[in-house]
Amino acid sequence: MHLANFFGTNPRAALGFSGGVDSAYLLYAGLKQGAEIQPYYVRSAFQPEFEHKDALRLCEELGVSLVTIELDILAIPEVASNPARRCYFCKKAIFTALKQRALQDGYTLLIDGSNASDDAEDRPGMQALAELQVRSPLREAGLTKAEIRQLSKEAGLFTWNKPAYACLATRIPTETPIQANDLRRVEAAEDLLKQMGFSDLRVRLFHGAARLQLPQDQMQTALENAAALRTALAPYFETVLLDLAGR
């Protein structure tokens, strides 16, 4: 199935929009096919602010308004307790909120940006999507992540080479309860590292310390600037560790 066929059959849909590579291209493709696509962004403690800004920017460039839904994700015990299936409970809550708002706005079809490279068996969140009858046009069209990046580049979307980004909750070890303050500390630390020139990184909570995961080609720079890193992150973490395995 081609995306043109999908939107020809489904010319009106609500899109769960993250501002990432996949949902950005899906929004672009749907609009290009003349479909009425309304993007919805769910804002919670798990999403860093730059993601919301990217979502707003992309929508502005494509000439479509973004609906932002505020969600207190940590008020959901099955999410905040951080079990192994946290992603399932989180995705269920997010897309339930999306579906409720979309129905209020008159949209009966909800779509998302899952693609053919996503392993359904390894993603509990995709079970939640199936239960809520969320369609994934990119996946149905057989488009892989690499293909979507290339198509996005050809379309001139600034998201084409945006690094993959997992939500902030993934920085907290499984079974460790998620605290809002820990999420804020992680986000602030990652923002600082980006300002220092590092990229495609993760700051993971490790027994109260910050465990930095950087690409191998940035490891030497980190070692040479260890003192500066400790000073920069001191307001958020007393102990800073460098994961030599890298990203």
pLDDT in tens, the chain (247 residues): 689 999 999 999 999 999 899 999 999 999 999 999 999 999 999 999 999 999 999 999 999 999 999 999 999 999 999 999 999 999 999 999 999 999 999 999 999 999 988 766 557 778 899 999 999 999 999 999 999 999 999 999 999 999 888 899 999 999 999 999 999 999 999 999 999 999 999 999 999 999 999 999 999 999 999 999 999 999 999 999 999 988 8
pLDDT score, position 165? 84
pLDDT score, position 247? 84
CB-based contacts of 109: which residues, under 8 Å, 6+ apart?
A: 10, 12, 13, 14, 135
Q: Three-state secondary structure along 112-124? A: CCCCCCCCHHHCH
194, two tokens: 């980006």
Which CA distances in Å does 102 have to 40, 69, 98, 163, 177? 8, 11, 6, 29, 31
Selection from 137, 95, 87 nearest residue 116 by Cα: 137
Which CA distances in Å does 9 have to 2, 33, 136, 185? 11, 11, 14, 45
State the DSSP code for 37.
E
pLDDT score, position 2? 87
pLDDT score, position 126? 84
Query: What CATH number belongs to 3-161?
Result: 3.40.50.620
